[in-house]
């Protein structure tokens, strides 16, 4: 089933008219007031509150259904089995690109919105990457010849944009825009990973293109307009292999075997629809509360592509102040804190009225060194700047819940993991084989985008861990662009 929309032309014109503006990141240390608000230059008409966005999404869907025969009766859902790489460092799934389809392992990243894979001619950062995209061997590839570049918390990638059939978990988008990258930061791609699938909203796509998931959700291709994650834990399993079963990524429904009780959905704040943002409403450590600023000062991006949890330095300092024997790290541990390994640290996070507990096993990132009695905590200082949220809530938290990213109404939901889900933690097994599923539903992207002026990094303090290959910070820097 293929759905298309007449809005692509309008969007393309809007994009072209702004394509030559230049990116002006905030100077280091200077944050814009209301830095999380909508950009000065808007890409789409998705302005206004979450409710507005929700009704826009509904109308858009209904309009498409009416215009194209009124029927998207073929809806579906599908699951992609995830691989857990390097003891919870990153979680990747598989998709296929081109005709004939070639499969690629990609980091699943709810903290950015672009799809890219390393190209056959990748010149930097692709050593050891065995699977690269060869445009000449896909009969459906269309080169857009537009430069692409994106900066993440942990590195960058650049190349050119193209368009091709992309398939995943039984869904297909025949005209998905993605980047074929030839320059990638060292350490970003760790075999067998070839690229990254952004699962946040189009508004923060550096390509300007509709993300794979958003095209499917907007077209009504899913049984339910949401996607869900269950992420496994191998961090505290000393016998874990580099690749272990990582849990599951379900598109178009939830898997009721993987959680118990209700899913607690919290709407993303009005005017966002960029990252999957939730206000962090509470933080405790060992039962004591850490005070948080109200409102947008405590906005948090819920990010499967970030390994740990990053927060503002004041709150991170208050958190560790509750742990006797803790101290700020130095050298390679700048931005981190150490604490006595024999302390079991229990941190809880609240979103809305509900509180979720992080296992002490996830808080204990690693020993400082093999003989040390000190451990490094999984919460670190980050100064996101730009228009990124103050907190980046990554897998340290997400391993402890079933998480649902809902398109309409735009919200993030959490539920308690079931015994079946928890039972997968630390169970060594062969990682899943790449599957794409037979295509059950397909939707055409309605906007093909155009690369924005290149994003460039702001002053994030990116504490980089050379000891542990554990730090993937795959949230994209999304900048104000001055006209
Ligand atoms: C697309 O075209 C550009 C030139 O416009 C070229 O540099 C690039 O390699 C092409 N990309 C692919 C994947 O063939
Ligand atoms: C890892 O941590 C989890 C959660 O705290 C715990 O249930 C499990 O027994 C731990 N596994 C090992 C091998 O210590
Ligand atoms: C739901 O999860 C259970 C437990 O992991 C699994 O056995 C089942 O296959 C999953 N269902 C689907 C439809 O993927």
Measuring CA to CA, how many Å separate 469 from each of 201, 397, 466?
28, 18, 7
- DSSP label of 359: P
Show the ligand 2 pocket: residues with CB < 6 angstroms: 236-237, 359, 361, 426
Note whether 167 and 210 are same-domain residues: yes
DSSP code per residue over 199-238: -S-GGG-TT-SPPHHHHHHHTT-BSSSEEEEEE---TT-T
Query: With a cut of 70, which residues of the chain have pLDDT below it?
Result: 1-74, 386, 447-483
Ligand whose nearest atom lies closest to the CA of 259: 3
According to DSSP, the β-strands at 171-184 and 441-442 are: parallel
Report phi then psi at 286, rounded to 5. 50, 35
Asked if 282 and 296 sit in the same domain, the reply is yes
245 and 191 in a single domain? The answer is: no
145 Cα to the center of ligand 1, angstroms = 6
Q: Point out the domain boundary residue: 422, 438, 469.
A: 422
Q: C-alpha distances in angstroms, 412 versus 151, 189, 227, 345?
A: 25, 28, 10, 26
Q: What are phi and psi of 355, to 5 degrees?
A: -115, 135
One domain, residues 249 and 176? no
Structural domain includes residue 335: yes
Say yes or no: 202 and 260 in one domain: no
Mutate to test the pocket of ligand 2, among 84, 87, 88, 233 (most ligand atoms within 8 A of CB): 233
Q: Do residue 247 and residue 266 come from a single domain?
A: yes
C-alpha–C-alpha distance, residues 366 and 178, integer Å: 36
Cβ–Cβ contacts within 10 Å for residue 376, how many?
27
* Residue 435 is assigned to a structural domain of this protein: no
The verdict on the CB of residue 258 being under 6 Å from ligand 3 is yes
Question: pLDDT per residue over 284-343, tens digit each?
Answer: 999 999 999 988 899 999 999 999 999 999 999 999 999 999 999 998 899 999 999 999
Which of 373, 391, 422 delimits the end of a domain? Answer: 422
* Co-location of 50 and 95 in the same domain: yes
Residue closest by Cα to atom 14 of ligand 2: 236
> Ligand 1 centroid to 161 CA: how many Å?
8
Which pLDDT score is estimated for 89? 94
Q: Is any atom of ligand 3 closer than 6 Å to the C-beta of 257?
A: yes
Q: Rounded CA gap, 97 and 253, in Å?
A: 23
Ligand 1 and 145: CB distance under 6 A: yes
- Asked whether 420 lines ligand 3 (CB < 6 A), one says yes
pLDDT of residue 43: 23
Q: What is the pLDDT of residue 58?
A: 45
- What is the model's pLDDT at position 254? 98
My answer on whether 73 and 210 are in the same domain is yes
Q: What is the rounded distance in angstroms from the CA atom of residue 50 to the CA atom of residue 53?
A: 5
Residue 194 falls inside a structural domain: yes
Distance (angstroms) between ligand 2 centre and the Cα of 83 equals: 19
Domain of 43, CATH number, reads 2.40.70.10
Structure confidence at residue 210 (pLDDT): 97
pLDDT at 409: 95
Considering 190, 224, 258, which residue would you say is the last residue of a domain? 224
In a domain, 208, yes or no: yes
The SS3 of residue 351 is strand
Q: How far apart are CA 344 and CA 368, in angstroms?
A: 16
pLDDT of residue 1: 29
Which ligand 1 atom is the nearest neighbour of the CA of 133?
Answer: 13
CB 128 within 8 A of CB 194: no
Taking the centre of ligand 2 as the mean of its atom positions, its distance from the CA of residue 361, in whole angstroms, is: 6
* Tokens describing residue 84: 């857990």
**Residue 207 shares a structural domain with residue 312:** no
Whether residue 26 lies inside any domain: the answer is: yes
Residue 253 CA: nearest ligand 3 atom is: 13
Q: Which residues are known to be catalytic?
A: 109, 303
pLDDT for 476 equals 55
Is there a single domain that holds both residue 88 and residue 236? no
What's this model's pTM, rounded to 2 decimal places?
0.82
Which residues are registered as beta bridge partners of 415? 402
Q: Do residue 141 and residue 278 come from a single domain? A: no
Q: Which ligand does the CA of 160 lie closest to? A: 1
Instruction: List the helix and strand counts (H, then E) for the chain.
Output: 7, 26
**Any ligand 3 atom below 6 A from CB of 255:** yes
| Cα 219 to ligand 1 centre (Å) | 30
* CB-based contact 74:440 (threshold 8 Å): yes
Give domain status of residue 40, yes or no.
yes
218 shares its domain with 235? no
445 is a domain residue: no
From the CA of 419, which ligand is nearest?
A: 3
Residues 307 and 20: their CA atoms lie apart, in Å, by 35
**429 within a domain of the structure (yes/no):** no
| Count of structural domains within the chain | 2
Best residue among 77, 79, 418 to mutate for probing ligand 3, ranked by most atoms within 8 Å of CB? 79
Question: Residue 125 sits in which domain range?
Answer: 7-224
Peptide bond before residue 409 is cis, with ω within 30 degrees of 0:
yes
């Amino acid at each position: 089933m293929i759905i298309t929309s007449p809005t692509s032309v309008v969007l393309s014109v809007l994009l072209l008219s702004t394509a030559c503006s230049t990116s002006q990141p905030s100077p280091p240390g200077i944050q814009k007031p209301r830095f999380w608000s909508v950009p000065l230059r808007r890409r789409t008409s998705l302005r206004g509150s979450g409710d507005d966005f929700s009704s826009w999404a509904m109308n858009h869907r209904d309009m498409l259904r009416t215009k194209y025969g009124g029927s998207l009766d073929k809806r579906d859902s599908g699951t992609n089995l995830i691989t857990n790489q390097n003891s919870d460092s990153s979680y990747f799934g598989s998709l296929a690109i081109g005709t004939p389809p070639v499969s690629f392992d990609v980091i699943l990243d709810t903290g950015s919105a672009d799809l890219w894979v390393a190209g056959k001619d990748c010149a930097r950062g692709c050593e050891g990457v065995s699977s690269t995209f060869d445009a000449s061997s896909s009969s459906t590839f269309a080169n857009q010849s537009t430069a692409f570049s994106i900066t993440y918390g942990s590195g960058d990638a650049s190349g050119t944009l193209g368009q091709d059939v992309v398939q995943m978990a039984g869904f297909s988008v025949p005209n998905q825009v993605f980047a074929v990258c030839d320059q990638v930061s060292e350490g970003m791609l760790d075999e067998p990973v070839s690229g990254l699938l952004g699962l946040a909203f189009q508004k923060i796509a550096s390509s300007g293109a509709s993300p794979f998931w958003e095209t499917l959700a907007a077209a009504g291709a899913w049984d339910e307009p949401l996607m869900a994650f269950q992420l496994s834990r191998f961090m505290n399993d000393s016998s874990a292999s580099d690749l272990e079963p990582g849990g599951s990524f379900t598109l178009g429904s939830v898997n009721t075997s993987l959680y118990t009780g209700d899913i607690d959905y919290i709407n993303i704040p009005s005017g966002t629809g960029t990252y999957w943002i939730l206000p962090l409403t509470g933080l405790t450590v060992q039962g004591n509360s850490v005070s948080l600023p109200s409102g947008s000062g405590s906005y948090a991006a819920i990010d499967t592509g970030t390994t740990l949890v990053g927060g503002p330095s004041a709150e991170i300092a208050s958190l560790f102040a509750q742990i006797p024997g803790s101290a700020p790290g130095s050298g390679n541990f700048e931005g981190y804190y150490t604490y006595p390994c024999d302390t079991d640290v229990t941190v809880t996070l609240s979103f809305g009225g509900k509180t979720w507990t992080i296992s002490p096993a996830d808080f204990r990132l690693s020993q400082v060194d093999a003989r040390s009695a000190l451990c490094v905590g999984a919460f670190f200082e980050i100064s996101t700047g730009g228009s990124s949220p103050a907190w980046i809530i990554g897998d340290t938290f997400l391993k402890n819940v079933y998480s649902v990213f809902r398109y309409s109404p735009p919200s993030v939901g959490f539920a308690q993991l079931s015994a079946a889900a928890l039972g997968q933690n630390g169970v060594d097994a062969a990682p899943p084989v790449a599957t794409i599923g037979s295509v059950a539903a397909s939707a055409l992207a309605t906007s093909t985008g155009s690369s924005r002026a290149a994003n460039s990094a702001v002053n994030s303090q990116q504490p980089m861990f050379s000891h542990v290959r554990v730090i993937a910070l795959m949230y994209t820097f999304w900048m104000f662009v001055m006209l």
